[in-house]
């Protein structure tokens, strides 16, 4: 009788390590996660006539996008080199390439933050973008109001309500103007208050023009009479965005009280800058003209959602690299699977960017 030979142990399932299988399953969910964003973006983009593509409008910087693409490709290459070095027992070299990858990941985030700073500077943020002329004019008025609130609150920090601050402003101007023996600092203070008051009256005038839909060529002091007229809206020209933006630019130059002049008249009469011009200029420096961007909010939402989630993945990848780097001289062949899995994750991050770059920066 012969003894039965023990059957070889059967390995069930997929012939790869559990860790690698886990990483691939995770990457499978990640593919679905990003495809949902990318797919909906493509669908929205196709279904929206007039989607913003001009880089001067969207402030998309193709140079930043191109450099970041290159940075990620190099970092992806360094990860595979690091893994390769590990397999050939060149542990110090593997560690060095992992460090380079980490630094390139940081560089990617640095460039990304520069891009984000540009978006914040131009207010290309979801919910902040006017999509037609009316919304652009409203935006100018709202930001002008916020600016006046800041100036009044700074001048009179003890008063909380805007009405109280304005009443205090009038009182201070009256008191200081009547003071015959005013000191230099009091005269300076008076000029400051007068400039705030002038700017505030400009704000109120602009707000009323926009709300009443009356051209800036219609003097504000006639508004009470106009309101009493029948069919006033058909008698007077409506306010236009060009007028409002022109007004903003004038104020930024320190010029006040010019709204009676039409901007369509071509050459303007030379405006004499008054004494408060410099103070007005500094007070109005926070004002910005506004241009509408059709589908701008949808664009900004998509941009920040996709690039934001991608950046979060980059940050997580950097922590993974740190995990390897912290092993220092203890890095060995036993870490090969870990390095390979981290590499798989990092290549996936690169893969997502490969699609985001043409979709967001080129098309």
Partner 1 sequence: MSDHNPAVEHDESHGSIYFRVFIALCVFTLISVAADLVHLPSKILLGAIVLAVAVAKALCVLMYFMHLKFERAWKYLLLAPTTIIALALPVSLRPDIGSSYYFQDLQQLKDYPEHEARVLDALKHESGHH
Binding site for partner 1 (CB under 8 A): 14-17, 19-20, 24-25, 28-29, 31-32, 35-36, 38-40, 42-44, 46-50, 53, 62, 66, 69-70, 73-74, 76-77, 79-81, 84, 87-88, 131-133, 292, 294-295, 333-334, 336-337, 340, 343-344, 347-348, 350-351, 354-355, 357-359, 361-363
Q: Which two tokens stand for residue 210?
A: 């926009």
Minimum Å gap between C-beta 34 and partner 1 is 8
Q: Choose among 99, 314, 357, 137: nearest CA to 242.
A: 137
Q: Based on CB atoms, which residue is closest to partner 1, 182 or 294? A: 294
Q: Based on CB atoms, which residue is closest to partner 1, 88 or 201? A: 88
Minimum Å gap between C-beta 101 and partner 1 is 12
Q: What's the 3-state SS for 165-224?
A: HHHHHHHHHHHHHHCCCCCHHHHHHHHHHHHHHHHHHHHHHHHHHHHHCCCCCCCHHHHH
* Alpha-carbon span 221 to 110, nearest angstrom: 52
Q: Based on CB atoms, which residue is closest to partner 1, 70 or 120? A: 70
Minimum Å gap between C-beta 73 and partner 1 is 5
Minimum Å gap between C-beta 303 and partner 1 is 17
Minimum Å gap between C-beta 307 and partner 1 is 16
Q: Choose among 310, 263, 311, 256: nearest CA to 280.
A: 256
Q: Based on CB atoms, which residue is closest to partner 1, 195 or 314? A: 314
Distances (CA, A) of 119 to 116, 124, 303, 319: 5, 5, 10, 27
SS3 128: coil
SS3 332: coil
Minimum Å gap between C-beta 144 and partner 1 is 22
Q: Based on CB atoms, which residue is closest to partner 1, 30 or 168? A: 30
What does the angle CA 59 – CA 62 – CA 66 come to, to the nearest 5 degrees? 145
Minimum Å gap between C-beta 208 and partner 1 is 24
Q: Based on CB atoms, which residue is closest to partner 1, 16 or 312? A: 16
Q: Based on CB atoms, which residue is closest to partner 1, 144 or 345? A: 345
Q: Based on CB atoms, which residue is closest to partner 1, 51 or 220? A: 51
* Alpha-carbon span 362 to 341, nearest angstrom: 31
Output b/e per residue, 215-248; b: 16+ Cβ within 10 A: bbbbebeeeeebeeeeeeeeebeebebebbbbbb
Q: Choose among 39, 96, 41, 107: nearest CA to 73.
A: 107
Minimum Å gap between C-beta 59 and partner 1 is 16
């Amino acid at each position: 009788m012969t003894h039965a030979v023990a059957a070889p142990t059967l390995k069930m399932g997929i012939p790869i390590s559990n860790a690698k299988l886990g990483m691939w399953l995770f990457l499978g969910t990640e593919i679905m996660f990003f495809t949902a964003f990318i797919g909906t973006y493509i669908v929205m983009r196709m279904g929206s006539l007039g989607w913003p593509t001009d880089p001067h409008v969207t402030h998309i910087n193709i140079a930043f996008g191109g450099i970041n693409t290159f940075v990620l490709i190099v970092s992806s290459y360094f990860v595979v080199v690091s893994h390769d070095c590990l397999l050939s027992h060149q542990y110090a070299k593997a560690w060095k390439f992992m460090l380079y990858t980490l630094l390139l990941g940081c560089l990617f985030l640095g460039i990304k933050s520069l891009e984000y700073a540009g978006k914040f500077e131009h207010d290309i943020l979801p919910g902040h973008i006017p999509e037609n002329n009316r919304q652009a004019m409203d935006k100018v008025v709202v930001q002008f109001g916020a600016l006046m609130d800041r100036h009044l609150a700074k001048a009179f920090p003890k008063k909380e309500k805007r009405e109280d601050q304005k009443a205090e402003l009038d009182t201070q101007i009256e008191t200081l103007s009547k003071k015959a023996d005013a000191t230099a600092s009091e005269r300076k203070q008076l000029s400051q208050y007068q400039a705030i008051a002038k700017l505030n009256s400009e704000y109120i005038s602009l707000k009323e023009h926009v709300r009443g839909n009356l051209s800036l060529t219609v003097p504000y002091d006639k508004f009470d009479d106009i309101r009493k007229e029948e069919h006033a809206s058909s008698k007077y020209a409506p306010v236009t965005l060009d007028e409002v933006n022109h007004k903003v630019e004038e104020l930024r130059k320190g010029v006040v009280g010019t709204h009676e002049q039409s901007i369509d008249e071509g050459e303007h009469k030379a405006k004499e800058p008054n004494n408060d011009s410099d103070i007005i200029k500094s007070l109005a420096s926070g004002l910005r003209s506004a241009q509408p961007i059709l589908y701008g909010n949808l664009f900004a939402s998509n941009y920040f959602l996709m690039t934001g989630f991608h950046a979060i993945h980059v940050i997580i990848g950097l922590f993974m690299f740190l995990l390897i780097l912290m092993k220092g001289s203890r890095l060995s062949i036993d870490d090969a699977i870990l390095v390979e899995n981290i590499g798989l994750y990092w290549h996936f991050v690169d893969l997502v960017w490969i699609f985001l770059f043409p979709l967001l920066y080129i098309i």
